[in-house]
Amino acid sequence: MSQNSLHLSWTFEEVDQRLKDIMTGILQASKKAAADYGMEGNFVAGANIAGFPKVAQAMLDQGFI
């Protein structure tokens, strides 16, 4: 999103590396969250657990809670 809003021009390699970095971060957060809650290897549960605080904070920021 920032590429378009800031009128930046990224090469394919830059876009690819940024995407890989984001996906690696998501994988690591999911693995850690699953392990922290005794569900090691369950990436679906880990992703849900890791994502919940972000959703909750967004709801608070928007005044839904």
Summarised one tens digit per residue, pLDDT across range 26-46 is 999 999 999 999 999 999 999
Are the CB atoms for 34 and 41 separated by under 8 Å? yes
Supply the pTM of this predicted model.
0.76
CA distance 52 to 48: 6
Confidence of residue 64 (pLDDT cuts 50, 70, 90): confident
pLDDT (average), residues 55-65:
94
Domain containing 41 equals 2-62
Helix (H) or strand (E) holding 50: helix 43-62
Per the structure, the count of domains in the chain is 1
Q: 65 pLDDT band (50/70/90 cuts)?
A: confident
CB burial class (10 A; 0-12, 13-18, 19+) of residue 23?
Answer: exposed
Write down how long the chain is.
65
